[in-house]
Amino acid sequence: MKKQILVPLDSSPVSKEVIQIANDWALKNDLEIVFFHVNPKKDNSGKDQLEKFLDEQPISAEFQAISSIGITYQEILNQEIALQPELIIMAAHSHRMMSRLFLGSNTDFVVQNASCPVFVHKRSTQVLSNCMIVPLDYSDINSDLVKFADEWAVKEDATIHFIHVATLPEFAHYNMEQSWSWDDTEIKEIQNEEETEIKNFVENLKPQSNYHLHIEYGKPYNHILDLQDKVHSKMIIMASHSHSLIERLIVGNNTKYLLHNSNCPIFVYR
């Protein structure tokens, strides 16, 4: 049996875009698509409605349609446990308040709790270029992330923008009546060490694609969004480190913010 992609759908216009993304992904990787609809009504009309909707779409990959009744994010996670898919593809519907409510109740929850990678499709107000942004730290999963993104970029002939956002020690800028302060030379030394370390980290993994390395200081999501706005990347690929409370705090501070505010799709790698 083929490995599968789980694709939750409603009947919105953006769902049609998600169907085509899933179709292309399935064809390129020889996967079956499982289209999934959660019916909030306590009746069995969901599958018929889903099948009718899919009949109107140009789908060439193998697929099946299933539905259930219940709370959307819980049912999606239940299906993930049952199917063990390679990937979940979901839609973020807009940048309006309704989208934020949707993201808060469904996509955010799935991104935080799923065991497989999650691709969140977002409509962009930009013309996107053939490049991707990959935020990095030094954790073990980021070694795999670099290799994954590099293989993807080679297949798509795309450019990668690796970005590492570090923080200077808080006391580097502490100065109380000139009694204690770091000078520019000491701060520059810290920056040079940081830049050398992340450069060696990436180079040791020997990426084969064309790539650029950006080193910034401050809040990660701010610099990631600034870079996306500058290069108009077609995707941000981020690593999810674990399913612990620490990850949920990280997701809340960075991934969640990017899900709500980025101008391109997000791929959460596991």
Q: What is the CATH classification number for the domain harbouring 39?
A: 3.40.50.620
pLDDT at 96: 45
Number of compact structural domains in the chain? 2
- What is the rounded distance in angstroms from the CA atom of residue 270 to the CA atom of residue 239? 6
Residue 172, number of CB atoms within 10 A of its CB: 15
237 and 252 within one domain:
yes
143 and 114 within one domain: no
Per-residue HEC secondary structure of 231-267 comes to HCEEEEEEECCCCCHHHHHHHHHHHHHHHHHCCCCEE
Q: Where do we find the tokens 């993304």?
A: 21
Residue 204 is part of which domain span?
A: 129-265
Higher pLDDT, residue 252 or 231: 231
Domain closes at, from 72, 101, 122: 122
pLDDT at 169: 60
Lowest mean pLDDT among 52-56, 108-112, 118-122: 108-112
> Is the same domain home to 160 and 260?
yes
The last residue of a domain, from among 122, 151, 183: 122
Please tell me the predicted confidence (pLDDT) of residue 101: 42
Confidence at residue 183, expressed as pLDDT on a 0 to 100 scale: 62
- pLDDT of res. 182: 55
Please, what is the average pLDDT of the chain?
84
Residues 136 and 78 in one domain: no
What does the alpha-carbon distance between residue 63 and residue 55 come to, in Å, rounded to a whole number? Answer: 11
Within 8 A by CB and 6+ apart from 98, the residues are: none
Q: Is residue 82 part of a domain?
A: yes
How far, CA to CA in Å, does 72 sit from each of 1, 40, 67, 85, 221? 27, 8, 11, 17, 28
Q: Which two tokens stand for residue 124?
A: 């962009």
Nearest to residue 212, comparing CAs of 221, 203, 204, 220? Answer: 203
The tens digit of pLDDT for each residue in 67-84 reads: 999 888 999 999 999 999
Tell me the pLDDT tens digit for each residue of 134-145.
Answer: 999 877 889 999
Lowest mean pLDDT among 26-40, 91-105, 205-219: 91-105
- Give the pLDDT of residue 250: 43
- Which region, left, alpha or beta, applies to residue 30 given φ > 0 means left and ψ of -120 to 50 means alpha? left
- List the single range of 37-41, 77-81, 154-158 with lowest mean pLDDT: 37-41
In terms of DSSP H, where are the helices of 84-231? 97-102, 108-113, 140-156, 184-204, 220-231
Report the distance separating Cα 220 and Cα 187, nearest Å.
19
Higher pLDDT, 110 or 184: 110
- Residue where a domain stops, chosen among 122, 138, 170: 122
